[in-house]
Amino acid sequence: MPPRRRVDPAAGAEALGAWAVGTAAGEAGSGEAAVGRSVVATAVRYSLEELAARAPGRSVEVRVPPYGAVQCIEGPRHTRGTPTNVVETDAATWLALAAGRLTWAEAEASGAVRSSGIRADLAPYLPLQ
């Protein structure tokens, strides 16, 4: 069964586009000052849901605090406690990865992404566009 969508895909894609336009000139680092917190929140939640839809499974948990988290990618399912495969980053980095402005390798090298576990490599799934 596909994951349940909480963000309307059209509204999510619009928010991601608004974030991309609002941050294109390199104004605010997170984009919140340029486009607003609600747009950033919608864009993050939509892109996380899109990742879960494109890479279904429950072996990796992707966290973008305080906006959301999803489980994705096929493999051994984690059921209790902290999962062994975790990816965590901030909203600006996540949206840059989702939009293709930043590669997985660049994000890892800069320390903007914290990941653990053998399945926690999202390079094959990003960018989402």
Each residue of 53-79: pLDDT tens digit? 999 998 899 999 999 999 999 987 766
CB 97 within 8 A of CB 107: yes
CA dist 110 and 116 (Å) reads 16
56 secondary structure, DSSP code: -
Phi-psi region of 116 (alpha: psi -120 to 50; beta: other; left: phi over 0): beta
Name the stretches of the chain with pLDDT < 50: 28
The pTM for the full model equals 0.87
Query: Any idea where the domains of the chain sit in the sequence?
Result: 9-121
Return the number of other C-beta atoms located less than 10 Å from residue 10's C-beta. 9
Question: What pLDDT sits at residue 28?
Answer: 45
Written as six digits, the tokens of 40 are 């950033």
The span from the CA of 125 to the CA of 55, in Å, is 7
The topology (CATH level 3) of 9-121 is: Nonspecific Lipid-transfer Protein; Chain A (3.30.1050)
